[in-house]
């Protein structure tokens, strides 16, 4: 049995957890999420705790036990507090603007890059070079941040690119030149 999987999950006040047929719904102040329950697992809800048990003892099922418990814990945390990732743009002329449902990036290309903001996410541009992505689904927040970062990953020579906040780029020495 998984050490992580057998831990109970506390349901905070203001969060509704409901079991459907083969899926679990979590609703809170910042949104609602749904996830399918694998056939190998059983979910039981007591007053303010959730217990996850395995139906068989296969190795794959035991691994799935801890994973599903963590995913469910992240769902509950996300609808209560929201997940956030902060990005920094470093480079000459790098800036961003957020509209109602679009994010426009100027990253040194000959054209601006326009991205549609996925539903359920909130993107805030604090200054021209700082982006904050907020949302209840940890997977969506991380995926959108990595999608932005893929346009200009940080490079080790000048330190330019799209960086996570407080990320340290190990700098390389350039060419030594002729002697």
DSSP 6: T
Same-domain pairing of 56 and 69 = yes
Tokens of 41: 């697992």
Sheet of 102-106, strand order: 95-98, 102-106, 113-116
Evaluated on CA atoms 44, 46, 51, 53, the torsion sign reads negative
Same-domain pairing of 96 and 141 = yes
Mean pLDDT rounded to a whole number for the chain: 90
Same-domain pairing of 88 and 56 = no
pLDDT tens column, 164-174:
998 888 888 88
What is the number of structural domains in the chain? Answer: 2
- Strands (E) in 41-121, as ranges, are 41-45, 49-54, 83-90, 95-98, 102-106, 113-116
DSSP reduced 3-state for 80: helix
Which pLDDT belongs to residue 60?
86
Closest by CA to 67, choosing from 2, 16, 140, 9, is 2
Same-domain pairing of 18 and 68 = yes
* Residue after which a domain boundary falls, among 81, 111, 140: 81
Same-domain pairing of 97 and 137 = yes
Whether 20 maps to a domain, the answer reads: yes
Domain of residue 74, residue span: 9-81
Separation CA 109–CA 24 (nearest Å): 44
Among 1-5, 37-41, 120-124, 167-171, whose mean pLDDT is lowest?
A: 1-5
Find the largest Cα–Cα distance for the chain: 76
Same-domain pairing of 50 and 88 = no
The radius of gyration of the chain's CA atoms, rounded to the nearest angstrom, is 21
CATH number at residue 27: 3.90.930.12
pLDDT tens column, 103-119:
999 998 899 999 999 99
Whether 99 maps to a domain, the answer reads: yes
Whether 178 maps to a domain, the answer reads: no
């Amino acid at each position: 049995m998984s050490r992580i999987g057998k831990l109970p999950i506390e349901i905070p006040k203001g969060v509704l957890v409901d079991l459907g047929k083969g899926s679990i719904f979590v609703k809170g102040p910042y949104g609602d999420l749904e996830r399918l329950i694998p056939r190998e697992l059983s979910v039981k809800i007591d007053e303010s705790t959730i217990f996850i048990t395995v139906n068989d003892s296969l190795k794959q099922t035991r691994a799935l036990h801890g994973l599903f418990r963590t995913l469910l814990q992240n769902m509950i945390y996300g609808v209560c507090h929201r997940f956030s990732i902060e990005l920094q743009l470093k480079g000459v002329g790098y800036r961003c603007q957020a509209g109602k449902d679009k994010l426009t990036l100027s990253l040194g290309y000959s054209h601006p890059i326009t991205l549609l903001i996925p539903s359920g996410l909130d993107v805030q541009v604090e200054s021209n070079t700082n982006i904050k992505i907020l949302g209840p689904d940890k997977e969506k927040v991380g995926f959108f941040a990595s999608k932005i970062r893929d346009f200009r990953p940080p490079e080790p020579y000048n330190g330019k690119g799209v960086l996570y906040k407080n990320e340290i780029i190990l700098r390389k020495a350039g060419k030594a030149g002729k002697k």
